[in-house]
Structure 1
Amino acid sequence: MSVETMAVPKQSSSVVPLAMIAGLFFIFGFVTWLNGSLMPYLELVLSLTPFQASFILFSFYIAVTVFALPSSWVIRKVGYKNGMAIGLAVMASAALLYIPAAKTHWFLLFLVAQFMMGAGQTLVQTAVNPYVVKMGPEESAARRISIMGILNKSAGIVAPLVFTALILGGMSGATSQTPSAEEIEQLANNLVLPYIYMAVVIGIVAFLVRISSLPELDLEEDKEEKLPLRDVFQFPNLVLGVVALFLYVGVEVIAGDTIGSYGRSIGYTNFSILTSITMSCMVFGYILGIVLIPRVISQQNMLLISAVLGVCLSLAIVLGSNESTSISSVFAFLGMPAIPNTILCIALLGLANAIVWPAIWPLALSGLGKYTATGSALLIMAIAGGAVVPVILGAASTIVDRQTAYIVMTPCYLFILYYAAKGHKLRSWK
């Protein structure tokens, strides 16, 4: 993967461009974490099994892996700003595709729409991320990245609430395990207007980006030596880091996007807003990371704690009670509703997951030198874990019950624990 040297024209202020970039990160989060509400919705409307529903996530996240490198090529051809506008236009088109999918109840069309939405978002993200680094002092780049991350996850709190209000609002039968034909038809029709709104809003943003004064990043031809991909496999800390990141993205997606589906399966009434709780825990974890790292604790030790917490919570989900609300009752004085322990443990995985991504990256790239760009490309490809691991969960649920199937997360966290404790230190396979 080629490296690009970028420079932004000097401006008196970067507040407006950064505000525009921040808005894009909110849109990314809204679209991404809407999947957590879309899964149980489609299970209802299309009578999907958990395994079938897992392909809703697969089709979205596999697009990231498929289009990561093509997106870089597109941006080299049309520039960063045009690349963002094109990506947003693809996302708007994908939003419109959900409408005939809902009208026809055709699952394959939903999957195509998901894939298109993921592809468009990949192009926009590939273009927008360098702006966060370059539009401001280099020494404060990490702070800007953290703020964008919080915006992304905060959108995950809002998206399920909006989805519930617009699509499930006023439908008492929406929580039924076996809704009537009339209720299914109403649910399908309710999807039309929100996705029209989404297409219009994203389309307007695409137009504004295209005509904006957002500075173009200067591209220079990569003059570095072309390095064979196979050479990076000599670094155990990178290879194991890619595996750890693959598994992490998988469990992050499971925690955020399957919680609503699981809540519906055990009869929890407000299942469509459960993703919001997971994202709230994740935002809290981000804030903790900003406050504590590195003043109080190192990234490595924070990753270690996160992995241990992930192992404990994943086991608690499998072994916990769907009837008991003892954990949430402890926080009843704060106004927390009664939530079954198993659901709350899934939500708390958001806290365990929050700083895993930013902690693995520097450990995996440590000591790579001239191979850093290639290593970064492999780490980006590891996002495919968000496509694969939820499908494994769905497949497991066809063999055992849905609660027991969550055991697939335990070995994922155990590997992350190994990487935090030892794997990242390895510099040779011997």
Structure 2
Amino acid sequence: MAMAPTSTPTGTTKPGNGETYRAALILLASLFFMWGFITVINNTLLPHLRSVFDLNYTQTTLIESVWFIAYFVAAIPSAKLIERVGYKRSLVIGLSIMAVGALGMTLAASIPSYGVTLAMLFVIAAGITLLQVAANPYVAVVGSPETASSRLNLVQAMNSAGTMLAPSFGAYLILGRSVGGTSAEGAVLTDAERLADAQSVILPYVLVAAVLVVLAVVIARFKLPDMGAAGRRVAAEERKHHSLWRHRNLVFGVPAIFIYLIAEIGVANLFVNFVSQRDIANITHEQAGHYLTFLWGGMMVGRFLGSAIMQKVAAEKVLAAFSIGAFVVMLIATFTQGHTAMWALISVGLFHSIMFPTIFTLGIRGLGPLTEEGSGLLIMAIAGGALVIVQGWLADRYGLQMSFLLTAVCELYVLFYALWGAKPTNAIEDVRPQET
């Protein structure tokens, strides 16, 4: 899944020596890995909960909607918390909140309770939001400004590694240990089987909670570099001379992020149920969970490929080409059957790979001293993932396969943004002072 970057501070504070720098970067990379890993566990958790609680697609996608609503609700409180207690403590608090939510998932599985499950997933997502707000600036700080982009790419790669490994973890420890996960699509479970399946979630979330607690302890004891002046915002007086709404690339970029998230999350969350259908791949949820690895793996490969292409081709053109590719494969997934439809849906991961970071960078282009405010709006747009419930409603009303027409429409908006919406208007020079 796509994760939100923040604007890079103009100054940096270097750690005392190379060893401290490397250790700090490893810790930060581990955070990116963990929130990518935990977020994508949802892709195998959703079909599991659909079976346990006998949910329709609307109720199933509501689970993911709650997850992304947390981004919208927790973003501003997270920023205020960081201002009060600092970045390092915020990282520890974020990990602790996630650990509490993970342990709460074991309670939800023991009851079992759909409502408690929703609440605990919201808690986990709120913790991840705090990590998102706190961790990204650190990546730019620990080391020299010249290598900031390299560090950001490195931790984003770790995020992709987490998203790629999570489906196998979920397939083995959740779907593979449940009756619903190892049965054919549409199998009817007894009450005893549902209870046993619900409790299969306990072990994986206990393991996740343990790792989060260990990370929190390590970070609490580690001497991370102080943000110092690098974290201060540019003077408000300078920003008063400009308006965000005069920049077309930002105005159309915010809905582009919002709409793209609907497409990415909808594909990932309904993937297992889709390929498990008899007229698609006719496999169990456990087996489908392993194929999900290819979807996320394609996103990782696409990021490296897109990065290399953009060294010679304008980002807008690359984004347009990838959006056309995504539109075509989504039509194939919607109107064909068998393995053709399955592999078409898998391949959309490759085309989705560059969309979030490319839209983000195009959206803040030419904002100058307004870059931080523009970045904040784009980050808030991640809440668009909550509207995956619309696709769930479409799946219930018109069928799961036809619901992917919504994804195809989302790709068309990204194409519009690449061809016209991303062109900057009233671009201004970045006059922010260098801070020391």
TM normalised by structure 1 equals 0.89
Q: Is the 8 A contact 2:179 2:197 kept in 1?
A: no
Residue 224 of structure 1 is matched in structure 2 by 235
Residue 366 of structure 1 is matched in structure 2 by 365
Query: What's the offset of the Cα at 1:233?
Result: 1.9
Secondary structure, aligned partner of 1:402: coil
Residue 253 of structure 1 is matched in structure 2 by 265
Q: Is the 8 A contact 2:44 2:175 kept in 1?
A: no
Deviations 1:146-203 (A, max 9, x none): 2222211221221121122222335565333223333322211211122112111111
Percent pairwise identity: 29
Query: What's the offset of the Cα at 1:373?
Result: 1.6
Distance 1:274 1:115 in 2: 27
Distance 1:67 1:111 in 2: 16
Give the direction of change, closer, same or farther, for the CA distance of 1:271–1:79 in structure 2 (3 Å limit): same
Distance 1:257 1:163 in 2: 13
Q: Is the 8 A contact 1:156 1:275 kept in 2?
A: no
Deviations 1:124-163 (A, max 9, x none): 1211101111222323222222222221122122112112
Which AA in structure 2 matches 1:247?
I
**Of the candidates 309, 319, 338, which is equivalent to residue 303 of structure 1?**
319
Q: Is the 8 A contact 1:229 1:374 kept in 2?
A: no
**Of the candidates 292, 298, 301, which is equivalent to residue 284 of structure 1?**
301
Secondary structure, aligned partner of 2:411: helix
Instruction: Kindly tell me the number of residue pairs found equivalent between the two proteins.
Output: 409
* Residues 138-149 of structure 1 mapped to structure 2, 5 A cutoff: 138-149=145-156
Residue 333 of structure 1 is matched in structure 2 by none
Residue 194 of structure 1 is matched in structure 2 by 204
Residue 59 of structure 2 is matched in structure 1 by 52
Residue 357 of structure 1 is matched in structure 2 by 356
Residue 409 of structure 1 is matched in structure 2 by 407
Residue 247 of structure 2 is matched in structure 1 by 235
Residue 430 of structure 2 is matched in structure 1 by none
Which AA in structure 1 matches 2:403?
A
**Of the candidates 3, 21, 25, which is equivalent to residue 18 of structure 1?**
25
C-alpha RMSD over aligned residues:
2.2
Give the direction of change, closer, same or farther, for the CA distance of 1:182–1:6 in structure 2 (3 Å limit): farther
User: Unpaired segments of 5 or more residues in structure 2?
Assistant: 1-5, 427-436
Distance 2:320 2:9 in 1: 33
Residue 328 of structure 2 is matched in structure 1 by 312
Which AA in structure 1 matches 2:236?
E
Deviations 1:283-304 (A, max 9, x none): 110121233221x322221111
Secondary structure, aligned partner of 1:34: helix
Query: What's the offset of the Cα at 1:248?
Result: 1.2
Secondary structure, aligned partner of 2:162: helix
* Residues 141-180 of structure 1 mapped to structure 2, 5 A cutoff: 141-169=148-176, 171=178, 174=181, 175-176=183-184, 177=186, 178-180=188-190
Secondary structure, aligned partner of 1:367: coil
Distance 2:198 2:191 in 1: 11
* Residues 84-99 of structure 1 mapped to structure 2, 5 A cutoff: 84-99=91-106
Displacement over 3 Å in runs of 4+:
1-7, 170-173, 219-223, 226-231, 264-267
Distance 1:135 1:249 in 2: 30
Residue 394 of structure 2 is matched in structure 1 by 396
Distance 2:110 2:273 in 1: 22
Q: Does 1:30 align with 2:40?
A: no
Q: Is the 8 A contact 1:94 1:116 kept in 2?
A: yes
- Which deviates further from its counterpart, 134-143 or 16-25? 134-143
Secondary structure, aligned partner of 2:252: helix
Residue 256 of structure 2 is matched in structure 1 by 244
- Which deviates further from its counterpart, 69-78 or 212-221? 212-221
Which AA in structure 1 matches 2:399?
D
Q: Is the 8 A contact 2:319 2:358 kept in 1?
A: yes
Residue 214 of structure 2 is matched in structure 1 by 204
TM normalised by structure 2 equals 0.88
